[in-house]
């Protein structure tokens, strides 16, 4: 059953049918399409456009279709152009002529826009929920390791002492920002395009406020043409997901580095690693590596949709059908990656002793020696030069700063006294100034 064709004199080419069909990818929208159709039918009854009896038949039939699909008694398949054609054909076969009245006062253009907004809102909220679980796991692991000291890095060079818990909390802040972006995306898209028709509304006296309220939108869209052609909300979601994937990819990279034998800061649980088919000693951090790889696919989806939309005149164009598949794939990949990261973070084993050894080999209290000299009245720029010379000397003799004797240190500045050793102790230095925040 086609929803068009009255003005055509020739059958659609077989290849064109395949080329034009979106039924397979529309499976993701079946629930949204049925919900939108139920709200539309109830509005048609309220506005006396179809009879109460017809409306009840339609709504009951749509509920039956939803139930049958959920239980597996009905499979979405067949020679249908899209999910909208499938639903209407199945409904008409089920309840008869009343099914043909469902499409009164709407177009597939406003219908698919509504479906996509409902889908985007649902998956954005699902992503928020998964991020909250990841944040909880990060916080739990951070608390368990809030006093485990480790090197903090810049340029991938050991820089200053931090705690493992504080390092993880940096990612908590990233994911909190991600959550806010998703919430803003939901707020931006929360207007119903249903009732916009193909692009210019309908001559039927419908009530768009009713369908907007029934579907959980805050209000109807203000402009029909924008309502059917807007896909900004998809681009916003994909932008949000791309930033999220960038964040989980950064964390993945650190887990990969930290779990290597060169670092040995952590162990990734065996459940989220794999082995080698030829090297029996290998334990590969494949879950983290796959997250890094999937990040590119999500970025690709964003670029794909932006490219599809960039040259389209108002209002609806068939090109827009091509934005669905990359979005569906990106959402699935992002959610899977967030869930996988949650599991890895919750089960990671921390090697605090190895982290401490890395600190001692890296002159990570050099900045604090400069701070010490400043407190003794030495200008910071001069203190910086003094400490640089101390580090060079330490490298030459194979000693860390705290291993040097007072006499050795005083070669570089008369301002250095015995209290330097307590000042640059790695545990003590985290208790001073705003560094105390790292231990909270």
Which tokens go with 354? 């190895």
Residue 40: active-site member: no
CA angle (149, 362, 262) in 5-degree steps: 80
Which tokens go with 179? 């959550």
User: CB of 283 within 8 A of CB of 271?
Assistant: no
b/e per residue, 279-312, with b = 16+ CB within 10 A? eeeeeebebbbbbbebbebbbebbebbeebbeee
b/e per residue, 91-128, with b = 16+ CB within 10 A? bbebbeebbebbbebbbbbbbbbbbbbbbbbebbeebb
DSSP, residue by residue, 113-174: HHHHHHHHHHHHHHHHHHHHHHHHHHHHHHHHTTT-EEEEEETTEEEEEEEHHHHHHHHHHH
**How many helices (H) and strands (E) in the chain?**
17, 6
User: CB of 430 within 8 A of CB of 149?
Assistant: yes
Residue 21: active-site member: no
Question: Which candidate in 276, 304, 384, 415 is catalytic?
Answer: 276
Question: Which candidate in 40, 137, 155, 264 is catalytic?
Answer: 155
Bridge partners of 218? none
What is residue 432's DSSP assignment?
Answer: S
β-bridge pairing 157-163 and 149-154: antiparallel
Active site residues: 155, 276
């Amino acid at each position: 059953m086609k929803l068009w064709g009255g003005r055509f004199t020739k059958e659609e080419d077989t290849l064109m049918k395949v080329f034009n069909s979106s039924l397979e990818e529309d499976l993701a929208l079946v629930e949204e399409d049925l919900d939108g159709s139920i709200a539309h039918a109830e509005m048609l009854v309220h506005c006396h456009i179809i009879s109460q009896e017809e409306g009840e038949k339609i709504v009951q039939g749509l509920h039956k279709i939803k139930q049958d699909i959920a239980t597996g008694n009905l499979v979405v398949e067949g020679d249908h152009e899209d999910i909208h054609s499938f639903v209407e054909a199945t409904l008409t076969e089920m309840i008869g002529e009343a099914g043909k009245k469902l499409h009164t006062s709407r177009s597939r253009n406003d219908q698919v826009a509504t479906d996509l907004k409902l889908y985007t809102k649902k998956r954005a909220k699902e992503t928020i929920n998964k991020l909250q679980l990841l944040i909880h796991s990060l916080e739990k692991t951070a608390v368990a390791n809030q006093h485990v000291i480790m090197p903090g890095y810049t340029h991938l060079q050991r820089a200053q002492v931090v705690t493992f818990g504080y390092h993880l909390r940096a990612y908590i802040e990233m994911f909190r920002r991600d959550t806010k972006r998703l919430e803003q995306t939901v707020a931006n898209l929360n207007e119903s395009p249903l009732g916009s028709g193909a692009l210019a509304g309908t001559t039927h006296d419908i009530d768009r406020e009713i369908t907007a309220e029934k579907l959980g939108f805050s209000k109807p869209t203000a402009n029909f043409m924008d309502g059917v052609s807007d896909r900004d909300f998809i681009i916003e979601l994909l932008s949000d997901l791309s930033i999220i994937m960038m964040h989980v990819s950064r964390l993945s990279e650190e887990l990969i580095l930290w779990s290597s034998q060169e670092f040995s800061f952590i162990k990734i649980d065996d459940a989220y690693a794999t082995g080698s088919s030829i090297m029996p000693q290998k334990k590969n951090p494949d879950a983290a590596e796959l997250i890094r790889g999937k990040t590119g696919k999500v970025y690709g989806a964003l670029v794909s949709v932006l490219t599809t939309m960039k040259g389209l005149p108002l209002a609806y164009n068939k090109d827009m059908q091509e934005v669905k598949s990359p979005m569906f794939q990106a959402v699935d990949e992002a959610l899977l990656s967030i869930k996988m990261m949650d599991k890895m973070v919750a089960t990671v084993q921390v090697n605090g002793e190895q982290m401490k050894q890395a600190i001692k080999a890296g002159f990570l209290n050099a900045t604090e020696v400069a701070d010490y000299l400043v407190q003794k009245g030495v200008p910071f720029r001069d203190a910086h030069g003094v400490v640089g010379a101390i580090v060079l000397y330490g490298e030459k003799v194979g000693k860390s700063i705290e291993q040097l004797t007072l006499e050795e240190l005083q070669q570089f500045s008369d301002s250095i006294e015995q209290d330097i050793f307590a000042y640059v102790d790695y545990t003590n230095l985290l208790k001073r100034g705003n560094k105390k925040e790292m231990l909270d």
